[in-house]
Amino acid sequence: MSQKTPAPDFSNWSCPLPLADYPTIVMGHGGGGKLGNELVEHLFLPAFRNTALENLGDAAVLELPFDGKASRIAMSTDSFVVQPLFFPGGNIGELAVNGTVNDLAVSGAIPRYLTAGFILEEGFPLAQLAAIVQAMAAAARTAGVQIVTGDTKVVERGHGDGVYISTAGVGLVREGLSVGPHRAQPGDVVLVSGSIGDHGMAIMSLREGLEFESQIRSDCAALNGLIGDVLTAVGPAVHAMRDPTRGGLASTLNEIAASSGVGVQIEEALLPVHSEVQAACELLGLDPVYVANEGKVVLFVAPEAADRALDVLRAHPLGREAARIGQVTAEHPRMLVARTMLGANRVIPTQIGEQLPRIC
């Protein structure tokens, strides 16, 4: 037998993705929208099928048997491909640490340990790598986590983009919580911990060369301290939490509405949006509700605890601009509806694909 090229034969393969016009990856598969969701639902889930994965939380909650008793940990991962690597308010390294810390935190876990995998491009300046690594170390210290193991691969010049980083994290699950994207209930108040759209518009303004009176800075931050304060104060009253990254606030609220089978009603007038972010969005024809955040959390809180939760958020440096933006309704289940400044209602759907590529 002679050596054969082992490229498998895919000629009879039938694409299971309903939205795929042609059976290849498009930029939209990396967005926070429907294309990305269907990749998960029709390709990853059927293959990997297990309870932890099927919950589709930001982190998986897992059991480990210690002393004959099941102890629970949370586990999460994210890969980062943002361009440019350095931006106002942060760089890819801080994003990689905070992104995984936040995925654990919004699942109600206490982040503890992170891993970091680097895919480096031949020719990438070591000075930039060192700056990114220093930023990761500082972000880890701020978040109170340790980066305990890692891996480095190098690809030829022209592949990759300087550096891609994948982080994974493990956290301790807080017991006594009932938080999850499927637990929002009619009556819940929707809170956001601060202004929306900053991260995405910091990146886009940079790419587009937009100039404003004041610079738009990424909100990249670790949310575990802020979330810890809220959980300490009103723990069991928090029904759902998520950090609205790719796809922005709109995708996050739609996901929770769908998971919980409820309607979400927000007030556009109540959304905290910085004026320069609003201006940049208008220039580029974007809606801030679809723009990525990297240091914000959305909380669904039982009504009797909402004021207290808002006070706690505002008392934290990362939550000073926290706002009540809407509530959960039994009406229009699985839909996100916004009352506009003019008093009309409009449905805010999940987008199909990627409005802003390579944002994280």
Contact by Cβ (8 Å): 150, 118: yes
- Judged by beta carbon, residue 137 or residue 270, the one nearer its own copies is 137
Query: Shortest gap between Cβ of 8 and its own copies (angstroms)?
Result: 6
Which of 30, 33, 180, 288 is the binder for its own copies (CB under 8 A)? 30
291 is a site residue for its own copies (CB under 8 A): no
Query: Shortest gap between Cβ of 349 and its own copies (angstroms)?
Result: 21
By CB under 8 A, what part of segment 179-208 binds its own copies?
205-206
By three-state DSSP, how is residue 243 classified? Answer: coil
From CA 214, how far away is CA 275, in angstroms rounded?
A: 10
Q: 70 φ, ψ to 5°?
A: -85, 115
Which of 189, 216, 238, 309 is the binder for its own copies (CB under 8 A)? 216
Cα 214 to the chain's mean position, in Å? Answer: 26
Which of 19, 168, 279, 284 is the binder for its own copies (CB under 8 A)? 168
- Judged by beta carbon, residue 82 or residue 191, the one nearer its own copies is 82
Query: Shortest gap between Cβ of 28 and its own copies (angstroms)?
Result: 8
- What lies within 8 Å, CB to CB, of 88 at 6+ separation is 202, 206, 215, 216, 217, 218
By three-state DSSP, how is residue 285 classified? Answer: coil
- Judged by beta carbon, residue 39 or residue 271, the one nearer its own copies is 39
Query: Shortest gap between Cβ of 251 and its own copies (angstroms)?
Result: 14
Which of 142, 144, 182, 210 is the binder for its own copies (CB under 8 A)? 210
Give the torsion through C-alpha atoms of 86, 87, 88, 94, to 10 deg.
-60
By CB under 8 A, what part of segment 77-96 binds its own copies?
77-81, 84, 86-88
End-to-end alpha carbon distance in the chain: 47
- What lies within 8 Å, CB to CB, of 114 at 6+ separation is 97, 100, 101, 140, 145, 146, 147, 148, 167, 168, 169, 170
21 is a site residue for its own copies (CB under 8 A): no
Query: Shortest gap between Cβ of 212 and its own copies (angstroms)?
Result: 6
Contact by Cβ (8 Å): 189, 330: no
By three-state DSSP, how is residue 70 classified? Answer: strand
By CB under 8 A, what part of segment 47-66 binds its own copies?
47-50, 52-53, 57, 59-60, 62, 64-66
Quote the DSSP letter at residue 8: P
Q: Let me know the angle formed at the C-alpha of 228 by 318 and 99, rounded to the nearest 5 degrees.
A: 65
- Judged by beta carbon, residue 16 or residue 349, the one nearer its own copies is 16
- Judged by beta carbon, residue 28 or residue 319, the one nearer its own copies is 28
By CB under 8 A, what part of segment 99-158 binds its own copies?
112-113, 115-131, 133-134, 136-137, 140, 146-156, 158
